[in-house]
Amino acid sequence: MEEKVNPRDVYGETLIKLGERYPNLVVLDADLSKSTKTYKFGQKFPERFFNMGIAEANMISVAAGLASCDKIAFASTFSVFVPGRTYDQIRMCVAYSNMNVKLFVTHAGLSVGKDGVSHQMLEDLALMRVLPNMKVFAPSDPYQTGRIAELMAENYGPMYARIGREAMYVIYDKKEIEDIEIGKAVEVRDGDDVTILAHGTMLYEAIKAAEELERKGISARVLDMWSIKPFDRDAVLRSARDTGRIIVAEEHSIIGGLGSAVSEFLMERGINVRFRVIGIRDVFCESGEPYELLRKYGLSREKIIKTAEELVKG
């Protein structure tokens, strides 16, 4: 489980496969195709690849227009620009109009490192999950990234997926990836004392935390919550009742992300559960190497372990 692969490379390669499968699939980029890896699709299908330049809002509008002509439109850039610079177009042209546009963005969270706060997008899940019609995903494994792109192409409607800049640990085998479904969590590890819900880069940290917790006598269940909207309510409800303690770990603001979605759901159902969210507090973050920033802001297995111990012993 220690192999690392960059999910951006998997995304670029998957687009080529999808282009071969769907002659009506088009890809748009905003002058960052070497970084998002969409250039691979452009080399294979130049007539279906559109570099819109540094004009992200226009890219979204054009994607919606192409979708209105029965195209499956994938649009990619950095997450700080989509949704950061393009929210009005996403809201009106894509979500409200219920267009078949797939927003697949890269360089999310703290993965941009030294580029700093101007490029750190830590509120995108909150912005996107509040939009009607929009589905929201955060791949937790590089090859899972490719399968999620396939699911986005196979299913109609507005969708948003985010990956980081850095390579990710390989967690799943091919069969496990093929079986994923929108709105369904993946139970990576069973446990009775505490449940850890994670997505993206934090899933690997959650798994490592669970292994260490087991050595400490604490049994931790780990769920991969890659599908954030819709999320797996049945799995969350079952885990809350089984373990009585839930930790949400995400490379995102603690406001409006998966942690908020889960807490809203549990409160509405009247579930009495001990609950913590590990994420970015209500702050803008500093510049630095990605691994340094993750540790500084508590997005680590050590933080998960400490939180689990507090919940179990408290």
Strands (E), 30-106: 49-51, 72-76, 101-105
- Work out the percent of the chain whose per-residue pLDDT is above 90: 97
Using the predicted structure, report yes or no on whether residue 32 has a pLDDT greater than 80. yes
Tell me, what's the pLDDT at 172?
96
Q: Mean pLDDT, the chain, as a whole number?
A: 98
Using the predicted structure, report yes or no on whether residue 6 has a pLDDT greater than 60. yes
Using the predicted structure, report yes or no on whether residue 113 has a pLDDT greater than 90. no
Residue 71 confidence class, pLDDT cut points 50, 70, 90: very high
Adjacent-strand bridge partners of 252: none
Domains of the chain by residue range: 4-169, 186-313
What pTM, to 2 d.p., does this model score?
0.97
The answer to whether residues 33 and 58 touch, using CB atoms and an 8 Å cutoff, is no
Known catalytic residue at 56: yes
189-221 burial, b if ≥16 CB within 10 A, otherwise e? Answer: bebebbbbbbbbbbbbbbbbbbeebeeeebebb
Tell me, what's the pLDDT at 54?
96
Q: Which of 3.40.50.1820, 3.40.50.720, 3.40.50.920, 3.30.70.1400 is the CATH number of 186-313?
A: 3.40.50.920
Residue type, 144: Q
Tell me, what's the pLDDT at 1?
52
Residue 174 confidence class, pLDDT cut points 50, 70, 90: confident
Average pLDDT over residues 233-259: 99
Adjacent-strand bridge partners of 74: 27, 102
Average pLDDT over residues 66-84: 98
Using the predicted structure, report yes or no on whether residue 257 has a pLDDT greater than 90. yes
Tell me, what's the pLDDT at 213?
99
Residue 314 confidence class, pLDDT cut points 50, 70, 90: confident
Using the predicted structure, report yes or no on whether residue 175 has a pLDDT greater than 90. no
Q: Give ∠ CA 238-142-145 in degrees, rounded to 5.
A: 70
Report the CATH number of the 4-169 domain. 3.40.50.970
Query: Residues 3, 56, 123, 286: which is the catalytic one?
Result: 56
